[in-house]
Amino acid sequence: MAIMAKKDYYETLGVTKGATAEEIKKSFRNKARHLHPDNKDSGDEQAFKELAEAYEILSDANKRASYDRYGHEGVQGAARGFDNFDFSSVSGFGMDDIVDILDTFFGGGGGGARGQQRRGGPEQGAHLKYDLEIDFLEAVFGTDKTLTVRRLEDCEGCAGSGAAPGSNPVTCVTCAGMGQVQQVMNTFFGQALRVIACPACQGSGQKIDKPCKDCKGEALVRKQREFQLKVPAGIDVGTRLRLQTAGDKGRKGGPYGDLFIVVHIKEHETFIRDGETIHVRQPISYSMAALGGEILVPTVEGAKSLKVASGTQSGTTSQMKGMGVPRFTGQARKGETVRRGDQIVHLVVETPSRLSGEEKKLLEKLAELRGEKLTVSKSDIAKSEAEAKGETKAESKSESDSEKKSESVASEKEEAKGSTQNRKNRDKKEESSKEDASFLNKIVDAFRPKNGET
Ligand SMILES: [Zn+2]
Ligand SMILES: [Zn+2]
C-alpha cells in the first residue's frame, strides 16, 4: 500500500499549535458536521476519519503533549484509527448527535472499545435514540417515565448462534475461518494490497448451513422492552440522558449499546422558561395599578399572592424569589433541597374595553377631577400649529451648524420656552419602551437554542 506523509493534526483540525482545548473542540465539531459521510453536500469519509483521529490525539492532554514533542512517531498506536469505524452503528442520529457520541468516546476515561474491536470478534450493539416529550411541569419537578424500546436481542431459538437447533455453524471456506481476506486494489499510486472482512461470512469466520427459523440466521431478533427512566428535576430542552446497555445487542456475544434519550419539553400556556427563570404575564386592572393591592399570580406550585405597589406602570416587573426552576443537578434525589431560580412577573395594565353607564360616569368624573380634557378644541390645534412652525424655523436655522450644536440649540430653546412638560412625557415614554424591550429580549432569549452552537 502506498505510504503517504501524514498530515499535521493541528492543520487537519484547522487550529494553531497554541489552541485551547475549547478551541480544538469547537473546530472539531464544526468540521465534523461538514465532513460527516451522512452529509450529502460536503461529506468526505476519508477526511472525516482523519479529522476524528486528529481530534482523538489533540483532545487528550497526554497524547497531545507526546505529539507536540515527537510528532506522529510519539503517538503511534495511540490513535485507534477510524478505518473500522462503523457509521451504520450510529444511524438514526442527527449530525449533532453523532458528533456528541464521538465526543463521548474520546472524552477521557478510556471510554470506547469500538475502535479496538478485532475484526470478526464480538461487536458492541448499536446505540439507539429515543425522543421523549414531557410536560413543562414534569421538566420543572422531574418525573419517572417508562420507555418502550424495540431493540435487537439474542435469538432464543438458537441461543444467539444463528444456526438451526441441532446444527452448528461451520468454518468458512473462503477465509479458512480467519474472517479476513486480502484484496488487490488499483489505486492512483499503483496496486495496493489491503485486508478486508471476508465477504462470504461477513468477517465471522463461520458459515451457517441451516439457518435458525426464528431469526433467519441473523442470531438477533427485535424485541419490545420497557425501561424505567428517572428524569431529573430542572431538565432543559435538548438535554440528552443515557441509559446504559438499553440499546441493541452486539453481534457474536458483544455487549449491548446504549439508549440516548433526547428530551423535548412541551410549551406551557402560562409560563415561559428561560433556564432557571420563569416568566409570567400578569394583567392587572387600571384601578389595581393606580391604587395598589394584592393579586393572585400563577406559579408552578399553584397561585400565590403578590403585592402590587400603588402607581404601578404597565410593563413593570416583580420578582417572586425561589419560584422558578430547580437547578439541574442531573440527579433525581427526592426531598433534596436544591437552589431554585426566580419567577419574574410582568405586570400589564389592561384598559377596560367595555364600560357600563355607571363606570363611564365615574371615569369621566375622575378625568374632571384630574383636569384632563377628553376633547380637543380648535384653539388647541391652532396653538400647537403655531408652536410647530416656531420649532421648524429654529431647526432649519441650525441645520448649517454641527449636529451637536443643533441639539443644544433645540434644548436651550425648549428650556427657554419652559415647556418641560413635553420632555417629561418623552422621558416617560422612553422608560416604558425600554421596559418593553427588555421583556421582549427575555422572551426571545427563552426561545433561543441553549447550546449556543446553532
Ligand atoms: Zn435464531
Ligand atoms: Zn469467511
Report the CATH number at residue 130. Answer: 2.60.260.20
pLDDT at 247: 94
pLDDT at 311: 95
Tell me, yes or no, whether 292 lies in a domain: yes
Tell me, yes or no, whether 332 lies in a domain: yes
- Whether residues 134 and 218 fall in one domain: yes
pLDDT grade, residue 335 (50/70/90)? low
CA of 250 to the centre of ligand 1 (A): 14
CA of 154 to the centre of ligand 2 (A): 22
- Whether residues 231 and 132 fall in one domain: yes
Tell me, yes or no, whether 84 lies in a domain: yes
Residues facing 132 on adjacent strands = 263
Tell me, yes or no, whether 427 lies in a domain: no
Q: Is 131 left (phi over 0), alpha (psi -120 to 50) or beta?
A: beta
Please tell me whether residue 297 adopts helix, strand or coil conformation: strand
- Whether residues 106 and 81 fall in one domain: yes
Q: Which ligand approaches the C-alpha of residue 175 most closely?
A: 2
Please count the structural domains in the chain.
3
- Whether residues 294 and 323 fall in one domain: yes
Letter for the amino acid at 83?
A: D
Above 80 in pLDDT, residue 415? Answer: no
Q: Which ligand approaches the C-alpha of residue 176 most closely?
A: 2
Letter for the amino acid at 338?
A: V
CA of 149 to the centre of ligand 1 (A): 20
Q: Which ligand approaches the C-alpha of residue 180 most closely?
A: 2
Element (H, E) at 413: helix 403-417
CA of 197 to the centre of ligand 2 (A): 8
What CATH number does the domain containing 4 carry? 1.10.287.110
Mean pLDDT of 25-43: 79
Q: Domain of 97?
A: 1-116
Answer whether 279's CB lies under 8 Å from 272's CB: yes
The CA–CA distances, whole Å, from 99 to 46, 54, 244 equal: 16, 14, 19
DSSP string spanning 283-340? EEEHHHHHH-EEEEE--BTB-EEEEE-TTPPTT-EEEETT-SPBP--S---TT----B
CA of 273 to the centre of ligand 1 (A): 50
Tell me, yes or no, whether 384 lies in a domain: no
Mean pLDDT of 241-249: 93
Structure-block grid coordinates of residue 343: 419567577
- Whether residues 126 and 112 fall in one domain: no
Above 70 in pLDDT, residue 374? Answer: yes
Q: Which ligand approaches the C-alpha of residue 218 most closely?
A: 1
Above 60 in pLDDT, residue 397? Answer: no
Tell me, yes or no, whether 420 lies in a domain: no
- Whether residues 275 and 243 fall in one domain: no
pLDDT at 252: 78
What percent of the chain lies above the pLDDT cut of 70?
72
